[in-house]
Chain A
Amino acid sequence: FIRPFPLTGSDKPVFPDDGVLKLYSMRFCPYAHRVHLVLDAKKVPHHDIYINLKEKPQWFFDVSSSGKVPALELVREPGHPMLIESLIICDYLEDKYPEVPLYPKDPLKKAQEKILIERFGQFITAFYRVLLHPNPAELDNDVLFAGLGIYEDELKQRATDFFGGSSPGMLDYMIWPWCERFAALKYDRGDGLELDPQRFALLLKWRDLMLQDRAVKVFFLDGETHAKYMKSRREGNADYNML
């Protein structure tokens, strides 16, 4: 179920008591994107409820005191507990729905995967700097690409299509939202923001394979669409209703 438009104002949506997980999200939020990917990769049914983050409805705070997205309401647990924090939600889904495993089985490899997920934060920070900077021409793009180097090296070392092996795993999905948005940068952030095909040959190949992945395709938005949203956000008028 994908609701076609975000809910604003005070209307609390009425849902059937159907035991299906509820994901509170925002269509353009990359952190929420992570949870969509894992739910879809594991084929876990869910209702998506998109929240207007600038004018959060009061009913949302009643349901989730932190008011954050992503938030996952566990409707089959007593008290309908709400989980927040994208990585914690995704780790929970991994434990609860093990049929499509996304982490390696080996505890050491799993820990190393989590470290790589954590390290991607460097790229995320640089990405937002480029995105939100009033004059991107002033920035040193090397800072942006520096955060990607270890992932190119990792793909080389693993010699598999995806970080997760022959199909995407948790690392692939946790970093994908920003990799998908990378295509948006050239639309309004200027030149020089393309991945060097020599330096990032494997990452570019990986990106093309990810674009074919079922879970990625379900939620995919193209560069131009992401750029339009990002521009609206940069101008202080985030357009959640865009689609």
Chain B
Amino acid sequence: FAVPGSLKPELPEDGVLRYFTMAFCPYSQRTNLLLAAKKIPHHTIYVDLIDKPEWYKDYSPLGKVPAVQLTHLKGQPTLVESLIIAEYLDEQYPEPRRLFPSDPLQKAQDKILIERFAPVVSAVYPIITLNPNPPADARKNFEAALDVFEEELGKRGTPYFSGQVIGIVDYMIWPWFERFPSMKLTRQYELDEKRFGKLLKWRNLVAQDEAVKKTALDVQLHAEFQKSKTVGKPQYDIAFKNIA
């Protein structure tokens, strides 16, 4: 469902999970990845984040995405916060396999690693969103924050951050790696192959994952979306360009 303006959509009362999102939001994509990885049936409702419809606050009190409404439960509660949603879904839908480690220490260390991605996101934000005056040290800070992940991959010595198979760390940081290549189109900037050799290899590997492929928007669309923001209102409908 793509909902124009403030019309509250007619949502089917069929006990199927509802996923509220904005097509280009990387935090929201985290939830999309979980839903795809676990093959959880869901209805997707796209929310305009600039002109937030009034009715949306009934689901997500601060109007944030992602939000997941558990319509099969009493009271049809809605969960927010991408990492809280991820933990909940991982626990409730253990098939085909759990994405979080079951060992408390490994789980904590994975959560810390995910948290350590935050400085990557904040440093790259003005660059990737085409801020006309990004801070002079934005690129330097971005690359330094990414060094942590290049190093960690080396330390863990496995193809994925989560081990031999893809797991929660890989999925939770993936959305930004899907977007980094857009900077080649918009800023003529790419990740240095020598400095980030392991990360780039990891990226190509993760790009082949079924859930990643299912939820992907291509680089061109990401670049166009960022450009659309610089000339006026974000053009969310770009996400549906290739859908008949």
Contact = CB atoms under 8 A, between A and B. Distances in A.
A111 B109 contact: no
Nearest to B105: A77
B107 A81 contact: no
B216 interface: no
B108 A92 contact: yes
B155 to A, nearest CB: 11
A85 B117 CA distance: 13
A115 interface: yes
Nearest to A107: B91
Contact of A115 (B70, B73, B81): B81
Among A77, A108, A110, A112, which residue has the most Cβ atoms of chain B within 10 A?
A: A108
Contacts of A85: 111-112, 115
A107 B112 contact: no
A218 interface: no
Contacts of A95: 104, 107-108
B111 A118 contact: no
Interface in A86-115: 88-89, 91-92, 95-96, 107-108, 110-112, 114-115
B105 A118 contact: no
Most chain A C-beta atoms within 10 Å of own C-beta, residue among B62, B88, B108: B108
Contacts of B62: 119
Q: Which range contains the number of A residues in contact with the other chain?
A: 20 to 34
Contacts of A88: 108, 111-112, 115
B84 A107 contact: no
A111 B107 contact: no
A73 to B, nearest CB: 12
Interface string B75-95: 001011100110110011000
Contacts of A77: 105
Nearest to B73: A108
Given A107-B88, A108-B88, A111-B87, A89 B108 contact: yes
B81 A83 contact: no
A112 B70 CA distance: 12
Contacts, number: 52
Nearest to A92: B108
A115 B84 contact: yes
Contacts of A96: 104-105
A75 interface: no
Given A115-B79, A118-B81, A118-B84, A108 B108 contact: no
Most chain-B CB neighbours within 10 Å: which of A74, A92, A108, A111?
A: A111
Given A91-B111, A118-B81, A111 B88 contact: yes
A84 interface: yes
Contacts of A111: 79, 84-85, 87-88
B115 to A, nearest CB: 6
B105 A81 contact: yes
Contact of A83 (B77, B87, B108): B108
Interface string A106-139: 0110111011001100000000000000000000
A119 B112 CA distance: 20
B104 A112 contact: no
22 contacts: A81-B105, A81-B109, A83-B108, A83-B109, A84-B112, A85-B112, A88-B111, A88-B112, A91-B108, A92-B104, A95-B104, A95-B107, A96-B105, A107-B88, A108-B70, A108-B88, A111-B79, A111-B85, A114-B84, A115-B84, A118-B84, A119-B62
Interface of A: 74, 77, 81, 83-85, 88-89, 91-92, 95-96, 107-108, 110-112, 114-115, 118-119
Given A107-B91, A108-B73, 12 more contacts: A83-B112, A89-B108, A92-B105, A96-B104, A107-B92, A111-B84, A111-B85, A111-B88, A112-B79, A114-B81, A114-B87, A115-B81
> 10 closest pairs, A vs B, by CB?
A95-B104, A92-B108, A111-B88, A88-B111, A96-B104, A114-B84, A107-B91, A83-B108, A88-B108, A111-B84
